[in-house]
């Protein structure tokens, strides 16, 4: 009788130990899941803030570039070299149509700088400049975009040959005139496209009057 009771008691201890191990395993798994879920929630909560800031930066860049592009003009097509310059990493454009609050002429610019593996889109304004070749130090500069992926500037131009379709290029030439649009690319994807709608020189038309509206000499492009 005692032997049978002892066997039963030892058997009961084995069941209790197994149940304890199972309970500990479940508790450990539950803790791991809870910890993982909490971490995931923290990441999910943080990600929208980063995305929102990034979207705001791109929106700011879009508004600035669209405003500049819409105000772009030249005295004549022959004067393009002093009014506009563009390449994949730099753009300069003269605005003197009252875009600034105090109606002062200014040069606006975009620069793409690579530093510590990051690509920065820098915007600048330089007042009282009517020719990009006369620019000096002292421009008001600010960082607009910071990107892990490469940034480039690309330009939509009308080809020199008559009747050709507009093409995108990283190297616009003076004979193209003002570009039809300026774009900021991120990893070859055009994130911003700002159109340049002006086709006639405001200076030329104001100087020649209504006759300037039909003169080739007043064409911007």
Domain ranges in the chain are 61-195
pLDDT at res. 121:
95
* pLDDT of the chain, 221 residues: tens digit per residue: 544 444 445 555 555 666 665 566 666 655 555 555 554 555 555 566 666 677 888 888 998 898 888 877 766 556 678 888 999 999 998 886 545 455 677 889 999 999 999 999 999 988 888 888 887 766 678 899 999 999 999 999 988 776 778 999 999 988 887 899 999 999 989 999 999 877 666 656 666 666 556 556 666 65
pLDDT at res. 111:
95
State the sign of the Cα–Cα–Cα–Cα dihedral 126, 132, 134, 137: positive
**pTM of this prediction exceeds 0.85:** no
pLDDT at res. 87:
96
């Amino acid at each position: 009788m005692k032997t049978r009771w002892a066997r039963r008691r030892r058997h009961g201890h084995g069941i209790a130990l197994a149940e304890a191990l199972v309970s500990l395993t479940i508790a450990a798994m539950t803790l791991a899941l809870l910890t993982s879920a909490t971490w995931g929630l923290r990441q999910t909560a943080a990600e929208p803030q980063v995305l929102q800031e990034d979207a705001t930066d791109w929106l700011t860049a879009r508004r600035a570039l669209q405003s500049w592009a819409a105000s772009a003009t030249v005295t004549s097509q022959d004067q393009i070299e002093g009014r506009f310059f563009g390449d994949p990493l730099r753009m300069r454009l003269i605005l003197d149509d009252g875009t600034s609050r105090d109606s002062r002429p200014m040069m606006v610019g975009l620069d793409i700088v690579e530093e510590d593996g990051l690509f920065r889109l820098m915007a600048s304004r330089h007042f009282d400049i009517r020719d990009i070749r006369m620019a000096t130090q002292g421009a008001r500069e600010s960082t607009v975009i910071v990107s892990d992926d490469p940034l480039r500037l690309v330009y939509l131009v009308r080809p020199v040959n008559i009747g050709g379709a507009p093409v995108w290029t990283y190297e616009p030439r003076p004979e193209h005139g003002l570009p039809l649009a300026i774009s900021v690319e991120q990893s070859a994807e055009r994130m911003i496209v700002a159109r340049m709608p002006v086709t006639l020189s405001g200076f030329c038309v104001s100087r020649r009057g209504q006759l300037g509206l039909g003169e080739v000499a007043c064409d911007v492009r």
